[in-house]
A and B are shown apart, each in its own frame.
Chain A
Amino acid sequence: MVYDELRRLAAAYMRRERPGQTLQATALVHEAYMRLAGAGTPWHDERHFVGIAARSMRQILVERARARGAQKRWAGLNRVSMTDALAVASEPVVMLPALDEALTRLEAIDAEQARIVELRYFAGLSIEDTADALGMSPATLKRRWALARAWLFREMSGT
């Protein structure tokens, strides 16, 4: 349900978005929450909702990237050159399916770290909001986020 609402909202956003404005994932997630909360859906709390929304965003984006053949293009790239962080950052869509797989492996080791990545990277939450959603201090969140990034980066660059 969150998934469908986000998809619908995202499509609507894409049509009427004003020029020069980057699409804010947080705004999208927030609007979805307001709609679903207004519809009388019993959510435990906003934190719970944000977690589910972040997971849905991950699903939507990875699915679309797969549909565009991102996997094949990623596989065709030379992994050695991928240690260059700039090359990875330049075309994020291509790496989404591989990132999704790495994230699933991270989940098995440390589920909380995977949640952090979903909230920060897929739902676009700030350090403070992510810390709040997971009930930890911003300083702790920062350290764990840095660790998750380093771990994923190592997985993705294959070194």
Chain B
Amino acid sequence: MDRDATDVAAWVAREAADDSAVRAEVLSLVDHHSRAGAFLAQPIVEQAADLLMDDEPLAPGARIGDYTIVRELGRGGMGRVYLASDARLGRTVALKALAPHLMRDPSQRERLRGEARAAAALTHPGICTVYALEEIDGDLYIATEFVDGHTLGEEIRAGRQPTRDEAWQTARELAAALASAHARGIVHRDLKPDNVMRDREGRLKILDFGLARIGVGAPDAAPRMTQPGTLIGTPAYMAPEQINGLPVDARADVFAFGVLLYEYACGAHPFAASTALATVARVLESDARPLASRADIPSRLADVIARCLQKAPAGRFGSAAELLGALDAAGADAAEPARHATWWRVHHVVITLLYIAGATFAWQIKEWVETPVTVSIFLALGATATIGGVLRGHFVFTSVMNYPRLTTERRRTRRPLMWLDGLTAVLLLADAAMVAGTGALPAVFALALGLGIALASLVLEPATTAAAFGDEP
């Protein structure tokens, strides 16, 4: 086997002259031996020590320091993620167990601590808070806020197109969260729909902020080609400079934001292709189809997204703060009230008039039947009419003057308004009972007014709001 090839060929021809099959087999093996290179030369454990890692998941009820595992939530690049309860503070957390191979090196542990510390400094409501980096029995864990809800990725895959309002709202909430992190110099680097949760109250929260590099296990977040066709990371949301392994800054997040919003608005990835590599090629070279041609979204929002998707970082917004400013400006200028918002405004004006009618009539009733009860009802109705009128007036004002804020304002005041309407209706019914002894007509009028307001609140308002904005109030 150590002799050179021509020698061996001659030797084989001499020794196995009468058996061509043996000769061919020997020559084939000799040929493969010369090409085998480093094949099997180095023992496998020395090359892939992490294969020996004990990767049994922790069972529910297992205790890790002060944490008790409730169940496994999933598995990511960093390792397994569990739902756990923290005995010290009695709160529920998401506990990420970091894979041992990520932290064998002390300098790597140090870097990891630094990143966790920086990530823990972020306390924006739109960012999932990092509570602690725990070292328990030589293993590292990151405890973060547990967000109960679903991811934007799931929302996109479910295939429901968002309304114009929802698209604005999602863009603003995400940009605001990103801006607060960028202001502290922290870049996400792996922003994607599966890293954004919508909690039970409908608020968005970005996960794994500042932790993306921990999963990669290298100081730079450059994608590594490990195998033809396999790219570590999430190439579909990476900015061109990130794919090329160049240094990244806040503008890479701005690019990822553009891809995410595009996908959220129209349900299709801007650079979709049949394979991961083809997608990467399109990210690097092709421009996305204009979003306005694929989804019913305000053209100004489409313009902002197009600027986020510029190939050259210098062509994008410099940071999420600039992006947020552009969104606000576009939203305020555009003031694109939805199609049926006029009827929605009429509704609010009419209800306000009904409040005034109710309060005025309560004054009249107090004149007819002057008891402490009727006086109190009049005063209470005056108060509810004032508060309700102000709130509904605020809606009409916001819809005309500051349209982008409207969804937030509507969400904030939905419940108080319903209680207010209920209270007004009950007060009017009580007044009807008080005045019943004096005459049937005033009683019937008060009764009708109360029922009318209650019905408008429970039936008409959801209908007009749905017609105007495509959602429930």
What's the Cα separation between A7 and B45 when bound, in Å? 13
**Which chain B positions have C-beta within 8 A of A7?**
52, 54
Q: Which of A20, A117, A149, A157 contacts B33 (CB 8 A)?
A: A149
**Which chain B positions have C-beta within 8 A of A149?**
33, 36, 39-40
Q: Which of B30, B41, B50, B229 contacts A14 (CB 8 A)?
A: B50
Interface on A for B, CB 8 Å cutoff? 7, 10-11, 13-17, 19-20, 22-25, 28, 57, 60-61, 64-65, 67-68, 73, 76-78, 81, 83, 85-94, 96, 117, 120-124, 143, 146-147, 149-154, 157, 159
B39 contacts A93, C-beta separation under 8 Å: no
What's the Cα separation between A14 and B55 when bound, in Å? 11
B39 contacts A88, C-beta separation under 8 Å: yes
Against A, the Cβ 8 Å flags (1 = close, 0 = not) of B63-102 are 0000000000000000000000000000000000000110
* Nearest CB of B to A87, in Å: 8
A153 contacts B45, C-beta separation under 8 Å: no
B51 contacts A77, C-beta separation under 8 Å: no
A15 contacts B139, C-beta separation under 8 Å: yes
B101 contacts A14, C-beta separation under 8 Å: yes
A121 contacts B44, C-beta separation under 8 Å: yes
23 A-B interface contacts by CB (under 8 A) = A10-B52, A14-B49, A15-B138, A15-B139, A19-B105, A23-B49, A24-B45, A24-B46, A28-B45, A65-B51, A73-B227, A81-B228, A85-B39, A89-B38, A92-B44, A121-B40, A124-B43, A124-B45, A143-B1, A147-B29, A153-B39, A154-B28, A159-B32
Tell me the count of chain B residues lying within 8 A, CB to CB, of chain A. 40
**Which chain A positions have C-beta within 8 A of B41?**
89
B104 at the interface (CB under 8 A from A): yes
B104 contacts A19, C-beta separation under 8 Å: yes
* Nearest CB of B to A124, in Å: 3
**Which chain B positions have C-beta within 8 A of A88?**
39
- Contacts A85-B36, A147-B29; is A57 near B45 (CB within 8 Å)? yes
What's the Cα separation between A117 and B41 when bound, in Å? 10
**Which chain A positions have C-beta within 8 A of B35?**
83, 85, 153
Top 3 A-B pairs, shortest CB-CB distance? A85-B37, A11-B54, A124-B43
Against A, the Cβ 8 Å flags (1 = close, 0 = not) of B8-36 are 00000000000000000000111011011
Task: Describe A's contact surface by its main secondary structure.
Answer: helix
A121 contacts B36, C-beta separation under 8 Å: no
**Which chain B positions have C-beta within 8 A of A19?**
104-107
B40 contacts A120, C-beta separation under 8 Å: yes
**Which chain A positions have C-beta within 8 A of B138?**
15-16
What's the Cα separation between A15 and B103 when bound, in Å? 9
What's the Cα separation between A151 and B32 when bound, in Å? 7
**Which chain A positions have C-beta within 8 A of B228?**
77-78, 81, 87
- Contacts A22-B49, A88-B39; is A96 near B44 (CB within 8 Å)? yes
B51 contacts A93, C-beta separation under 8 Å: yes
What's the Cα separation between A10 and B40 when bound, in Å? 21
What's the Cα separation between A111 and B397 when bound, in Å? 86
* Nearest CB of A to B290, in Å: 35
B6 at the interface (CB under 8 A from A): no
What's the Cα separation between A64 and B52 when bound, in Å? 8
B52 contacts A92, C-beta separation under 8 Å: no
* Nearest CB of A to B99, in Å: 10
What's the Cα separation between A128 and B101 when bound, in Å? 31
A-B contacts besides A19-B104, A64-B51, 18 pairs, CB < 8 Å: A11-B53, A14-B50, A14-B101, A19-B107, A20-B105, A76-B229, A85-B37, A86-B38, A90-B226, A90-B227, A92-B44, A93-B51, A147-B1, A150-B1, A150-B32, A153-B39, A154-B28, A159-B32
**Which chain B positions have C-beta within 8 A of A157?**
32
What's the Cα separation between A20 and B50 when bound, in Å? 14
B293 at the interface (CB under 8 A from A): no
B33 contacts A25, C-beta separation under 8 Å: no
Q: Which of A14, A94, A150 contacts B100 (CB 8 A)?
A: A14
**Which chain B positions have C-beta within 8 A of A57?**
45
- Contacts A11-B52, A14-B49; is A154 near B104 (CB within 8 Å)? no
What's the Cα separation between A86 and B228 when bound, in Å? 13
B274 at the interface (CB under 8 A from A): no
Against A, the Cβ 8 Å flags (1 = close, 0 = not) of B92-129 are 00000000110011110000000000000000000000
**Which chain A positions have C-beta within 8 A of B1?**
143, 146-147, 150
* Nearest CB of A to B186, in Å: 27
B48 at the interface (CB under 8 A from A): yes
B408 at the interface (CB under 8 A from A): no
* Nearest CB of A to B53, in Å: 5
* Nearest CB of B to A142, in Å: 8
What's the Cα separation between A90 and B50 when bound, in Å? 15
* Nearest CB of B to A141, in Å: 12
A14 contacts B39, C-beta separation under 8 Å: no
Q: Which of A68, A124, A159 contacts B46 (CB 8 A)?
A: A124
**Which chain B positions have C-beta within 8 A of A150?**
1, 29-30, 32-33, 36
* Nearest CB of A to B228, in Å: 7
Residue among A11, A81, A123 with max Cβ neighbours from chain B (10 Å)? A11
